[in-house]
Amino acid sequence: MKTIEELNKIRAEKRIELDLRKNTNADTREKHILVCQGTGCTSSKSPQILENFKKIIEEKGIQNVRVIKTGCFGLCAKGPIVIIRPEDTFYAMVTPDDCEEIIQSHIVEGKVVERLLCKDIDGTKVTKLDDLTFYKKQKRIALKNCGVINPEDIDEYIAFDGYRALARVLVEMNSDEVIETIEKSGLRGRGGAGFPTGKKWRATRDAKGDKKYVVCNADEGDPGAFMDRSILEGDPHAVLEAMEIAGYAVGAEKGYIYVRAEYPIAVHRLQIAIDQAREYGILGKNIFGTNFSFDIEIRLGAGAFVCGEETALLESIEGRRGQPRVKPPYPAQSGLWGCPTLINNVETYANIAQIILKGADWYSSIGTATSKGTKVFALGGNVNNVGLVEVPMGTTLREIVFDIGGGIPNGREFKAAQTGGPSGGCIPKEHLDTPIDYESLKEIGSMMGSGGLIVMDDTKCMVCLAKFYLQFTVSESCGKCTPCRIGTKRMLEILERLCSGEGEEYDIYRLEKLAANIKKASICGLGQSAPNPVISTMKYFREEFRQHAIEKECKAMECKALSRIEIDEDQCKACGLCQRNCPVNAIEGEGREKRHINQDKCIKCMTCIRSCPFHAIG
């Protein structure tokens, strides 16, 4: 068991050792090679890169170099990523075969490996991470340790002020002061709805009950969102520390983290973090010698989107089908096994320790009038810099997509961005300059959601997109209430009709009517928001729906039944490239003949369009 003094000692010693992680002028001979081991980079062989570095260093007998596994650096599009500190050199798209050269050239000879440097938006090669446009407009609070520390080493977390907030809370503050600080900071729930966090804590604290629970919602089911996963993979102790602070504030001794089983790396690192914290006595009985005891258990989800809804999540922890309960009573009054329960999302927790350490005023000075602090977005889709970004509230969509995201690839046009996943909506070009916060997103028909931000270019069909989200909702509807179970299915059928050319004009009105009814009559937040992707696409792209319904035309050529791919004979140079790339041999013609497409065989995969160097296919 560690005392606060012992913790401070570890911090002081470790901080000097790790100074080079944050200080490019650190006075040291050591070098740290940081290799990203987030899920994205891991899928592209980063564990092998890590092993190769270790092996080569050992073989060559190189001193003063350490290889460190870290969480996500954020710029997933350029992964696997390797960073060398203290000089902060950023190597992108590294392969296991590059390790030898990096060691020989960079470490032994002191020469940067030019060919592995990352290109910025304007095409110039950038040596340092901080010089990339991608990072310049970001402000990292929730992600501050991601990509800096080894998530499997509690000492590294402690070195960067880890568990200092917990120590301060336990020794210097009472529960009222903690709750007041959180309330004053203006922090709102990062899971989607944006409920004031301090208010939730107060309600749970004030609820009557001998036993109370603290739950972390890490069931990140929104497709295309990976903020919570990256925090758990890169900085798991931050979540544990915040849950303990919450436990102290509301009067709970037990916490549960409900995390998706689809996130094996996150689960593994969380378990390591919990074990290490227990070993240090930071989790368990009489923490830091005080009267406060707290322990945390992991509960695995099993792949049901609806379990992200707080009451469904509680049902699932109790071992049942994840069907939402009728509210009220809210979990703050009656949650797990009928006891008052506080539920917050991973990213919300990741802000807590910082607020305690730096103060509510510091936090509330960031952001807009109603939305304080920063928000992490998982930027994906048709955008150059796919990855994880954290920006102050109030940043505009244009800044995120074009400055940080580097714009749209292949010279295409921006068409829309989708936020809030299956509960959110589409934001068209005319709203690109809207500052992002809870209220302004709602005003334009979308929502903050958990932070998935998918960019779409002008080749995307909005009716198809609406259909995609409805398919998702239909397969994930828990089936408890009729409007959601049957209503969304009927909406999907209409959208399928529109996409296959069997729609009619009246279908558009049918969709609107159904959407309004489902919104009004569903039990839980997911049902009530299920029609949102349809409503918002119809609001901004009504003409497209009309074209599908009446003219039977899909201008984006995504709806196969409504589109034909053809080769323009005037532009075809008979190079045969399309023919070689076609997976179903649907392109006919030999030698110098102009090619044409056999429509019966064509599966409209569009491979030929992409492969034609003369843009003759469309």
Partner 1 sequence: MSKMCECVEKKIREEVREIMKPYKQEKDNLIQILNEIQEKYGYIPKAAQMEVSEYLGVPMAEIYGVITFYARFTLEPKGKYNVSVCLGTACFVKGSQAILDRLKERLKLEEGKTSEDGKFSIDTTRCVGACGIAPVFTVNDEVYGHATVKKLDEVLDELEKNEK
CB of 558: closest distance to partner 1 in angstroms? 9
CB of 474: closest distance to partner 1 in angstroms? 13
562-581 binders of partner 1 (CB under 8 A): 581
Q: Examine residue 79 and tell whether it contacts partner 1 (CB under 8 A).
A: yes
Q: Examine residue 44 and tell whether it contacts partner 1 (CB under 8 A).
A: yes
Alpha carbons 106 and 524: distance in angstroms, whole number: 56
Residue of 285, 321, 539, 564 that binds partner 1 (CB under 8 A): 321
* Burial 531-541, CB ≥16 within 10 A → b, else e: bbbbbbbbebb
- Torsion sign, CA atoms 362, 367, 371, 374: negative
Alpha helices in 87-174 (DSSP H): 99-101, 133-136, 154-159, 164-172
Q: Which residue matches tokens 């009489």?
A: 286
CB of 592: closest distance to partner 1 in angstroms? 25
397-436 binders of partner 1 (CB under 8 A): 418, 421
Which SS3 state, helix, strand or coil, does residue 63 take? coil
Q: Examine residue 472 and tell whether it contacts partner 1 (CB under 8 A).
A: yes
Q: Examine residue 561 and tell whether it contacts partner 1 (CB under 8 A).
A: no
367-386 binders of partner 1 (CB under 8 A): 378, 380-382, 386
Nearer to partner 1, 191 or 367 (CB): 191
Contact map string, positions 247 to 286, toward partner 1, x by CB under 8 A: --------------xxx-----------------------
CB 295 within 8 A of CB 304: no
Residue of 317, 393, 400, 401 that binds partner 1 (CB under 8 A): 317
CB of 479: closest distance to partner 1 in angstroms? 9
403 DSSP 8-state letter: I
Nearer to partner 1, 511 or 556 (CB): 556
How are beta strands 587-588 and 452-457 bridged, if at all? unpaired
CB of 175: closest distance to partner 1 in angstroms? 28
Residues in the interface with partner 1 (CB under 8 A) total 54
Residue of 76, 444, 463, 495 that binds partner 1 (CB under 8 A): 76
Nearer to partner 1, 1 or 584 (CB): 584
**C-alpha distance from residue 412 to each of 34, 224, 416 (Å):** 35, 21, 12
CB 85 within 8 A of CB 20: yes
Residue of 77, 216, 218, 617 that binds partner 1 (CB under 8 A): 77
Alpha helices in 417-487 (DSSP H): 438-443, 462-476, 482
Nearer to partner 1, 383 or 391 (CB): 383
Alpha helices in 164-309 (DSSP H): 164-172, 175-185, 197-206, 227-234, 236-250, 264-279
Alpha carbons 228 and 450: distance in angstroms, whole number: 9
CB 290 within 8 A of CB 170: yes
Nearer to partner 1, 43 or 517 (CB): 43
Q: Examine residue 557 and tell whether it contacts partner 1 (CB under 8 A).
A: no
Alpha carbons 250 and 331: distance in angstroms, whole number: 13
Q: Examine residue 335 and tell whether it contacts partner 1 (CB under 8 A).
A: no
Alpha carbons 16 and 25: distance in angstroms, whole number: 13
Contact map string, positions 96 to 115, toward partner 1, x by CB under 8 A: --------------------
* Burial 116-129, CB ≥16 within 10 A → b, else e: bbbeebeeeebeeb
Nearer to partner 1, 321 or 513 (CB): 321
**Considering only 72-80, 130-138, 493-501, 589-597, which stretch makes contact with partner 1 by CB under 8 A?**
72-80
CB of 263: closest distance to partner 1 in angstroms? 7
Residue of 138, 311, 316, 333 that binds partner 1 (CB under 8 A): 316
**C-alpha distance from residue 39 to each of 3, 47, 146, 268, 342 (Å):** 35, 10, 13, 12, 29
Q: Examine residue 598 and tell whether it contacts partner 1 (CB under 8 A).
A: no
- Looking at residue 459, its amino acid is T
CB of 43: closest distance to partner 1 in angstroms? 4
CB 415 within 8 A of CB 461: no
CB of 3: closest distance to partner 1 in angstroms? 32
Alpha carbons 143 and 73: distance in angstroms, whole number: 9
Contact map string, positions 440 to 469, toward partner 1, x by CB under 8 A: ------------x-xxx---x-------x-
CB 488 within 8 A of CB 470: yes
199-258 binders of partner 1 (CB under 8 A): 221, 223-226, 229
Residues that bind partner 1 (CB under 8 A): 39-40, 43-44, 76-79, 221, 223-226, 229, 261-263, 299-305, 316-322, 378, 380-382, 386-387, 418, 421, 452, 454-456, 460, 468, 472, 478, 581, 583, 603-607
